[in-house]
Structure 1
C-alpha cells in the first residue's frame, strides 16, 4: 500500500458451476468457462483506464489474451487512491460497460445461423439477473497489505454463500439449460438432425460463439471447437486439421454431415484406414475415451504468509506484484503444456481454463509421438506438477483430478467426476500434492487410482507399464492380472527382493523370456509398494500395498482392454 491508498476493493463473479453443468457439447462447456474469464478480463481492462486503480491480483498482461483458454480468474482485489464510495461507483459503472459488450455480441446473432429473436430487449435483464456479482469495498485504514488478499478472499467467499439469481419471466424457459428464460429460436444439431430450439442468451452464446467474428479474432482465428471424439482420437485425424480448427477433404465432408465422430461408423473407419500419414491407422480402445483434467494449487496461502513474514512493509507491494506475475506465468505455462500434450505436438489438448494455480482441460488419454513412443495423460499431469513447482518452489504442490469416460458419456457427469477426484480425493490426502484418476467404462464398470506426486517413481512405473501396454500388439495385461490375483495371499507375505524375483521367475517365465518389458514394470511396482527397496519407507500394511498395485493393474487392463464395449 502506498501513502495515497484510500481504499481496497474485491470483486467476484459466478455462477461458474451453473454455467458449465448444463453443457452437452464440448464447445458449450468451453465457452461457458471462457465467457466468465473473458468477462473478467474486459472488466479489469475497463477499470485500468483509471490511473488511480492498482490491481493486487490478478496480474493483467498488457497484451490481450488471444489463447483459446481463459487466463483470468473469477475474482480480483485492488487498491485505489479514491474513496470507498468513488471506487464502488467506478466498479459498478465498469460492470455495466462490460455486460453491455457481451449483450451486444448476443444481439448481433439476430438473423444469422437460423437465429430469430422474439424477446431481444430482455437479453440485458436476463444476463444481469443471472450473473452473480459481489463487491466488497473498504477504507484502507486498518488493512495491512501483507494480508489484504487473504482478507478479501474470505469476504468474497462469505458473499458467495448468499448468492441467488433472478429467473425472470418468459412464455417458456430455455430448452437447453432449462433454467433461464428463452429469448430466441435457433437451428441446433440434435444427433444428426437439425431442430428448432428456444434458447436463453447464455446458451445462444455458448452454442454459436465461434460463429461470431469478434470471438474468432479473440481466440486466434478458431472457427470450430472439437467434439469429444475429435479430442480423444486427435492422433487419428490431426493430418486433416486446418489452422482455423476445421478439417479438409473427406473428414470435412463427414463432419459437415454428422457434426460429431462416430467410431462405429463405417464411413469414419474408412477415413482413418485411408490416411497413410498417421502413425496409428487402427481405432484403439483408448481413442474412444476422453479425459477431463482439473487441477488446483496446494499451499499457496502458506507460502505467501511465510515469505511475507520476512519482508518489510515497504517491500510488500513489490512482492505481491511479482507473485501475481508468477501465477499469471503459471497459467501461460499450463496452457502450453495442455495444448502441446506435455510438449509433444502443438494443439493436441484443449485447455479450457488455466488461470494461476487452477487448470481445466479436455485431453486425449494418449498420443503417439512416433511409432514406438507414446505420451499419456500421466505425462501431462507430471509436467503440470513439475512446472508449477519449478516456478513457485518445492513448498507448494499441485493436486490433480482426472475423469476418463467414454466419448458419448454425458459431459457434465464427466466434469463433475473430475471435480470429485480433485476436491473429494486428491486434496484430502495427507500432504495433498496428489493425482487421483477415475475411469468409467462404457460397460458401466469403474476403476480408480491414486498417486502422490511426492513419490514420482511409483507413478513413473505405473506410467511406464501403461505405455508398454498401449504400444504392445499383444493383450497380455489380462493374463498377468489374473495370475497375480490367484497369488494375492502369497504376495502379501513377500518380505525380500529375492523372494519377489523368485515369484516372478516361477510364474511369468514366458513373458520374461519373450522380453516383454511390461512384466519388469509390474515387478518394480510391487517392489516399491511393498517397501522392498532400501530407499522406500517401511510398509505397515502389506495387504493394502498389494491391493493398491492390483487396483492399478486393473485400471490399466480396463483402459487398454481389447474387448468391445
Structure 2
C-alpha cells in the first residue's frame, strides 16, 4: 500500500461570510468557518490516522498551534499507508459537524426561545445542521509531487461540480418570511414579536433581548448563530463599524483630558436613564474614554436605531452637551476602513515545490505571517482582525491607522516569504482598502474591499496598494500604487500632511478634476488630442493662483509645494534647484492627481489639523 494525498474543503465560503449585516456577523462567520476547518485538521492529526498536514502547517510541530485565526477552509495532508481514506474522510466530516453542533448548542442556549413556537427552534437547529458542506478527495501520492497535487485539485473541482444537492430544511405548517440577511432561509423569529417591535419601543427592546435582532430584521437559525455564537477567549462583543469610525476622534480629542471624561460620563448616564442598549466590547478593543462601551454612541444616527422617538431627542441633547463641553463641538468623521489583503503569485510559488516537505515549509512560512497579523492589526494599529489564513487577511481599521497597517503587513509578508528562498519570484502582498461610511451595508463594503484589492492586483508586477473612497455624497474615488520604492505611499502621505497643515486649498482637487474632464472633452470634440503635458501645465496654472490661509492672512501656495507637484506630474523644474521630474513610469496624470488629493483630503479631515511645528515634510 502507498501514501495518499488527501484534500478536504469546507463551504460555502463567500456566500456564508458575505451574508452579514453587522460587523459581528462578519467576524463570527469568518471565525466559525476557520474553527470548523481547524476541527477537521485535528482529526487528521489523531494517532488513529497519523497524517501530516501540508497546508495549513503550524510553524512548529505542536498541533495546538492550529488556531481558528490561521486555518483556511481547505486542508491538504499526506496520509500514511494503511489508512483507509474513506474512513478518514467520514471522520473529518463527523469532527466538523460535532464542533458545529457544540457551538450551535452553546449559542442557542442563550436565546429566549418563545415556548409558544417550539417548531421555530427545531427549524433553526436544522438550518445550522445543514450549513456546512464537507468535500474530500484522495489520490495515491506518486514520486512526482507536483503532478499529484495538480491532479488532486482537478479531482476536487470535478467532485464539487457533481455534488448532491439536498432539499432546504423546512417544517410542514411553518410559514415564515425569509431571512432579511441572506434571503434564502426562513426566519425563526415569531412574527407577533416582530410586529410588536415595529409598534413600540418596549417591543423593540424585547426583540433585541430575546434574539439580538433589530425591529426590521428577520433572522434564520444561521443568522442567530452569528449573533449569539461565542469564542472562548472573547470576553464580550465585537466592535461595530461605527466604533472604528469614531476611533480617530477618540484618539485625537480625549487623551488625558479630565473635562472630556467628565462630560462623557454625564452623557453615558443620560443614555442609561433613557434605556439605550449599550454594547460592551472585549477588553482588547476598549478605549480609555469609552471603556467597555462601543463608541457607536458618538453618532446621532446610531442612537435612532436604539431608542424611541422621545428618548432619541433627549439622547441627542446629551450628546450635543458632550461635544460642546468636551471638544468645542467637533464631531467624529463617519468613515472607517475595511482592509483585504492577498499574496501575489502564491500559486507559482507552490508550483515550484517538488515535495510535500518543501510545500510544508511554504505553509509554515505562511503560518508565521498569519501569527504576526493579529499583533499588527490589533495591538499596533487599533484594528480588529476578522480573518488571517495563509496569505489572506481581512480586518476592520480606523482610517488614521490603516495606511500604516497596510504597509506593515506588506513588509511582514515580504520578510516572512524571503525565507522560502525563491529569489525574484518571492511572493508579495497586495492590499485593498475600502473607505466606507459606517452605516453602509456590510455586504457593499465587502464588495468595495474586493474591488480595491483587484485594483491593486491589476497593476503589472502587483505588490501594490489599492484604495477606494466611497462617499455617500459624491463620486467614488479609486487610486493605487506599488509598494516598491515607496513613491506612491510617500506622495499620498505628503498630500495628507499638507492638507492637515492648510498648505493645499480645500476644493482644489475637485477643480482639477473638472478642468481635466472639460479640457479632455474639448480635445476630443475638436479632434485634437490634448497631451498630458498641456493638462499638467494647466493644473499648475490653477494651483499658482490659489491662496491658502496662513495665520491671519491669505498667501500663495508655498513654492516647494508647487515644485513637488511639478515633479509628480513629470514636468521639468522651473528653478535650477527644483526637484527633477519623476521617471515616466512613476509620474502621475492630472486625473490621478485630483483623485489622490480627494482621498488625501478625507484622511486629513479624519486626522484633524496639524500644527506647523508638528511632523516633517
Aligned counterpart, 1:384: 409
Aligned counterpart, 1:229: 242
SS at match of 1:167: coil
Aligned counterpart, 1:538: 584
Q: In the alignment, which of 425, 445, 464 is matched to residue 494 of structure 2?
A: 464
Gaps of 5+ in 1: 367-375
Q: In the alignment, which of 14, 22, 27 is matched to residue 24 of structure 2?
A: 27
SS at match of 2:410: helix
Q: Report the CA distance between 1:407 and its aligned residue.
A: 0.7
Does the CA contact (< 8 Å) of 1:262 and 1:268 recur in 2? no
String of CA shifts for 1:389-410, please: whole Å, max 9, x gaps.
1211363221222221111111
Q: How does 1:13-162 map onto structure 2 within 5 Å?
A: 13-50=10-47, 52-60=50-58, 62=62, 64=64, 70-82=69-81, 86-110=84-108, 112-116=110-114, 118-120=119-121, 125-140=126-141, 142=142, 144-146=144-146, 148-160=148-160
String of CA shifts for 1:147-181, please: whole Å, max 9, x gaps.
54454344434544556564222323445433224
1:206 aligns with 2:219: no
Aligned counterpart, 2:334: 288
SS at match of 2:583: coil
String of CA shifts for 1:65-84, please: whole Å, max 9, x gaps.
798x7321010111111457
Q: How does 1:321-332 map onto structure 2 within 5 Å?
A: 321-332=360-371
For 2:363 and 2:556, how far apart are their aligned partners in 1?
49
Q: How does 1:112-511 map onto structure 2 within 5 Å?
A: 112-116=110-114, 118-120=119-121, 125-140=126-141, 142=142, 144-146=144-146, 148-160=148-160, 166-170=167-171, 171=174, 172=176, 173-182=178-187, 193-194=204-205, 195=207, 199-210=219-230, 215=231, 217=232, 220-237=233-250, 244=283, 251=290, 262=301, 265-271=316-322, 282-284=330-332, 287-306=333-352, 308=353, 316-340=355-379, 343-344=380-381, 348-366=382-400, 376-393=401-418, 395-423=426-454, 425-469=455-499, 471-472=500-501, 476-479=505-508, 482=511, 492-493=532-533, 506-507=544-545
Aligned counterpart, 2:527: none
1:492 to 1:176, Cα distance in 2 relative to 1, 3 A: closer
1:231 to 1:185, Cα distance in 2 relative to 1, 3 A: farther
Does the CA contact (< 8 Å) of 2:437 and 2:470 recur in 1? yes
1:530 to 1:399, Cα distance in 2 relative to 1, 3 A: same
Does the CA contact (< 8 Å) of 2:337 and 2:396 recur in 1? yes
Does the CA contact (< 8 Å) of 1:120 and 1:184 recur in 2? no
Which has a greater percent of strand? Answer: 1
SS at match of 1:399: strand
Q: Report the CA distance between 1:144 and its aligned residue.
A: 2.3
Of 120-129 and 549-558, deviating more is 120-129
1:6 aligns with 2:7: no
Q: Report the CA distance between 1:336 and its aligned residue.
A: 2.0
Q: Report the CA distance between 1:427 and its aligned residue.
A: 2.0
For 1:505 and 1:110, how far apart are their aligned partners in 2?
62
**Which structure: larger Rg?**
2
SS at match of 1:538: coil
String of CA shifts for 1:300-330, please: whole Å, max 9, x gaps.
2223444x4xxxx6xx343222211110111
1:510 to 1:159, Cα distance in 2 relative to 1, 3 A: same
1:527 aligns with 2:581: no
Q: Report the CA distance between 1:493 and its aligned residue.
A: 2.7
SS at match of 1:179: coil
1:429 to 1:560, Cα distance in 2 relative to 1, 3 A: same
String of CA shifts for 1:84-126, please: whole Å, max 9, x gaps.
7x12222222321321222133223445342345355555643
Does the CA contact (< 8 Å) of 1:511 and 1:519 recur in 2? no
Q: Report the CA distance between 1:35 and its aligned residue.
A: 0.6
For 2:75 and 2:344, how far apart are their aligned partners in 1?
20
1:487 to 1:253, Cα distance in 2 relative to 1, 3 A: closer
SS at match of 1:351: strand
For 2:139 and 2:157, how far apart are their aligned partners in 1?
16
RMSD value, Cα: 4.3
Does the CA contact (< 8 Å) of 2:108 and 2:228 recur in 1? no
String of CA shifts for 1:405-441, please: whole Å, max 9, x gaps.
1111111111112112223x32223222222221111
For 2:292 and 2:495, how far apart are their aligned partners in 1?
38
Q: TM-score, normalised by structure 1?
A: 0.77
Does the CA contact (< 8 Å) of 1:77 and 1:149 recur in 2? no
Of 319-328 and 166-175, deviating more is 166-175
Of 176-185 and 456-465, deviating more is 176-185
